[in-house]
Chain A
């Protein structure tokens, strides 16, 4: 098992290397970071030049990438433009955990800017994921057991509408109904913006209340897609011969379902959840934008607009690594659940 993990990690390294080159290239095309620096107008050409040199933008692409990857503290930067390095580099490179300084938020490292948002994003996304898994399992299993009944047809129709709905439309609709109109009708309405009411303060109750609509929005679309998938997986498993055997042994229906069927059906479901968990860190771009939730998705969009490449690149790299890590975890979970798979 240990050797398998090591092999997988070693295989992932060239892949991540390749991804980072592609992303780094894209970042270079994104826009002018000098203009972004601190939101200040850099008007004087001499200032521009100094900043360009400081950021290493005058260097060829491979050198810029190298500095980003392993840092430049082992070499010197030519700050005065005379072709001779005069200042010691300070960057330690991403392999040593240095994501660079944020261009938008002066004096903060990109890592700190990102790290700051992680709790908010995880709070929202993990809650949503739990809701998704629970409801998708319940609905998926229910409709598999009631295949071709009126209830199943009903659920099928609703889930098709569900996963065909653009998230923003569903978000706007739910705000319109539960926030705007509920208030209008004098019903208890749900807040639609932010994490808490500034007048009340950041109490757990406030945060929970503000989470209802975003979680509902994220969950709705995913539940629709997941429950369809779980339904078809369950149907496939329920038609297997070993389910008939379990029934022939006289086991209770519940035991047949929860032990014999679900353990087999969980294999493909684990794959699906594994990929999702990896992306939790990325937050929800559209949902966070609409509900003004201060998470990673909004951070990405805001810093994207302002060409804050260290932060944007940092988010993308963290997400890519997280996908790879969760792929490995998923495979290991698979081996735990399925005795036929051995990674020795």
Chain B
């Protein structure tokens, strides 16, 4: 057996919490007139009860698509879930009947989307949009649902909630809309909340408030949280574990400290090098990553980062590196950095990663 493909550590072992979501070998494609887009290519990871996981990657790397596909929110066709399973509390979401999945969406798993300006229905009142899920999942009457909605709006910090309930989305500011959206999604006490870049479309000052709000809600309600972002700065502050995605693949997965201290994938290293830091000399230049992300219309072969990677070796071009554990809390998919334990401690490597 090839020692490289045998995990040396079981990454999940140290976490004693139950596995909530278990994604294995998920592959998602879109069949478009220009050809097949290989959006998500064989990704596997787990999320535990009450855990905060961040998924990081550039736009179009498949981080949102992978989440939406397990909830059945991508249009099929043109989308296609080519392979994989996504077990949620022991049952596979991908093979579940539509009505069963509907019963889970919004009650067990909720999702907050990127743009609050377009994610709320402009022609329905906030009351209508907030009470819908409560009636659907809990069979509440109009009055019960309204009372609960008022409670929720209060919880997310909307002043005068009883009156605001009768308003329409256009009467709220962007930040307020995102609060409404969060309240709406928390209505049924989900055990997993997926936040898909919920702060990207907001003003910087509002962003911090929303992050703070979501984290407070998580503490109060104890749900697991998947935070999708392209912003490493946010990740450091909130996540326990980070999953880095590139071109539809998971390239590195680690607890947040390991990731920032000892990144093991060249892409993660490059990302960190591009991050401005307070402890860096002011005249030092931020490093950019040369090249562009790969064309997803081509079936992936080898390591997707190889054309832009400064450590590239011949093998990277032909053979896809598996996600290998490099420590009990860290896995990376790289032939070079995981294959040679000495490499990680070499001077050249350390210098490049910072």
Which residues in B have their C-beta under 8 angstroms from that of A250? 102-107, 133, 136-137
Docked complex Cα distance between A252 and B97 (Å): 12
In the complex, the answer to whether A251 meets B136 with C-beta atoms within 8 Å is yes
B78 within 8 A of A: yes
Q: Which residues of chain A from 8 to 39 have a CB within 8 Å of any chain B CB?
A: none
Chain B residue nearest to A264 in the complex (CB): B123
**Other-chain residue from A241, A249, A263 in contact with B123 (beta carbon distance below 8 A):** A263
B318 within 8 A of A: no
Q: A148-B78, A240-B118, A338-B122 are in contact. Are A248 and B104 (CB under 8 A)?
A: no
- Write the A226-260 contact mask toward B (1 if CB under 8 angstroms, else 0): 00000000000000111011111111110100011
Docked complex Cα distance between A267 and B122 (Å): 12
Which residues in B have their C-beta under 8 angstroms from that of A249? 105-106, 110, 132-133, 136, 184-185
In the complex, the answer to whether A242 meets B73 with C-beta atoms within 8 Å is no
Docked complex Cα distance between A78 and B114 (Å): 79
Docked complex Cα distance between A247 and B103 (Å): 11
Residues of chain B at the chain A interface (Cβ within 8 Å): 68, 71-73, 77-78, 98-99, 102-107, 110-111, 113, 115, 118-125, 132-133, 136-137, 168, 170, 181, 184-185
In the complex, the answer to whether A259 meets B124 with C-beta atoms within 8 Å is yes
In the complex, the answer to whether B184 meets A263 with C-beta atoms within 8 Å is no
In the complex, the answer to whether B133 meets A339 with C-beta atoms within 8 Å is no
Closest 8 CB pairs of A and B: A250-B106, A250-B105, A249-B106, A241-B118, A339-B168, A242-B121, A249-B133, A241-B119
A177 within 8 A of B: no
Which residues in B have their C-beta under 8 angstroms from that of A251? 102, 106, 132-133, 136
Q: Which residues of chain A from 263 to 280 have a CB within 8 Å of any chain B CB?
A: 263-264, 267
Which residues in B have their C-beta under 8 angstroms from that of A40? none
Docked complex Cα distance between A338 and B107 (Å): 29
In the complex, the answer to whether A253 meets B71 with C-beta atoms within 8 Å is no
Least CB distance, B188 to chain A, in whole angstroms:
8
Which residues in B have their C-beta under 8 angstroms from that of A264? 121-123
Residues of chain A at the chain B interface (Cβ within 8 Å): 148-149, 240-242, 244-253, 255, 259-260, 263-264, 267, 337-340
Chain B residue nearest to A338 in the complex (CB): B123
Chain B residue nearest to A148 in the complex (CB): B77
Q: A148-B77, A253-B98, A339-B168 are in contact. Are A248 and B123 (CB under 8 A)?
A: no
Least CB distance, B154 to chain A, in whole angstroms:
20
Chain A residue nearest to B117 in the complex (CB): A241
Q: A250-B105, A250-B133, A250-B136 are in contact. Are A244 and B123 (CB under 8 A)?
A: no
Chain B residue nearest to A340 in the complex (CB): B170
In the complex, the answer to whether A248 meets B110 with C-beta atoms within 8 Å is yes
In the complex, the answer to whether A242 meets B120 with C-beta atoms within 8 Å is yes
In the complex, the answer to whether A248 meets B73 with C-beta atoms within 8 Å is yes
Which residues in A have their C-beta under 8 angstroms from that of B136? 249-252, 255
In the complex, the answer to whether A248 meets B168 with C-beta atoms within 8 Å is no
Least CB distance, A262 to chain B, in whole angstroms:
10
Docked complex Cα distance between A247 and B124 (Å): 15
**Other-chain residue from B73, B124, B181, B185 in contact with A263 (beta carbon distance below 8 A):** B124
- Besides A244-B119, A245-B181, A249-B132, 13 new A-B residue pairs in contact (Cβ under 8 A), listed by A number: A241-B119, A244-B73, A245-B121, A249-B133, A249-B184, A250-B104, A250-B137, A251-B136, A253-B98, A259-B124, A264-B121, A337-B123, A339-B125
Docked complex Cα distance between A241 and B184 (Å): 15
Which residues in A have their C-beta under 8 angstroms from that of B184? 245, 249
Least CB distance, A57 to chain B, in whole angstroms:
56
Which residues in A have their C-beta under 8 angstroms from that of B102? 250-253
In the complex, the answer to whether A248 meets B115 with C-beta atoms within 8 Å is no
In the complex, the answer to whether A339 meets B170 with C-beta atoms within 8 Å is yes
Most chain A beta-carbon contacts within 10 A, residue among B77, B102, B110, B184: B102
Q: A250-B105, A251-B136, A259-B124 are in contact. Are A242 and B118 (CB under 8 A)?
A: yes
10 contacts between A and B (CB under 8 A): A241-B113, A245-B113, A245-B181, A246-B132, A249-B106, A249-B184, A250-B133, A252-B99, A252-B136, A339-B122
Which residues in A have their C-beta under 8 angstroms from that of B113? 241, 244-245, 248
Least CB distance, B172 to chain A, in whole angstroms:
12
Which residues in A have their C-beta under 8 angstroms from that of B71? 248
Which residues in A have their C-beta under 8 angstroms from that of B124? 259-260, 263
Which residues in B have their C-beta under 8 angstroms from that of A340? 122-123, 168, 170
Docked complex Cα distance between A339 and B166 (Å): 11
Which residues in A have their C-beta under 8 angstroms from that of B77? 148-149
Docked complex Cα distance between A244 and B113 (Å): 9
**Other-chain residue from A148, A149, A242, A337 in contact with B119 (beta carbon distance below 8 A):** A242
Which residues in B have their C-beta under 8 angstroms from that of A259? 124
Docked complex Cα distance between A255 and B113 (Å): 20
Docked complex Cα distance between A338 and B122 (Å): 8
Docked complex Cα distance between A320 and B58 (Å): 57
Chain B residue nearest to A266 in the complex (CB): B123
Which residues in B have their C-beta under 8 angstroms from that of A149? 77
**Other-chain residue from B103, B119, B137 in contact with A245 (beta carbon distance below 8 A):** B119
Docked complex Cα distance between A261 and B343 (Å): 56
Which residues in B have their C-beta under 8 angstroms from that of A240? 118
Which residues in A have their C-beta under 8 angstroms from that of B111? 248
Which residues in B have their C-beta under 8 angstroms from that of A255? 132, 136
Docked complex Cα distance between A251 and B110 (Å): 12
In the complex, the answer to whether A248 meets B122 with C-beta atoms within 8 Å is no
Which residues in B have their C-beta under 8 angstroms from that of A245? 113, 119-121, 181, 184
Least CB distance, A92 to chain B, in whole angstroms:
47
Which residues in B have their C-beta under 8 angstroms from that of A260? 121, 124
In the complex, the answer to whether A339 meets B115 with C-beta atoms within 8 Å is no
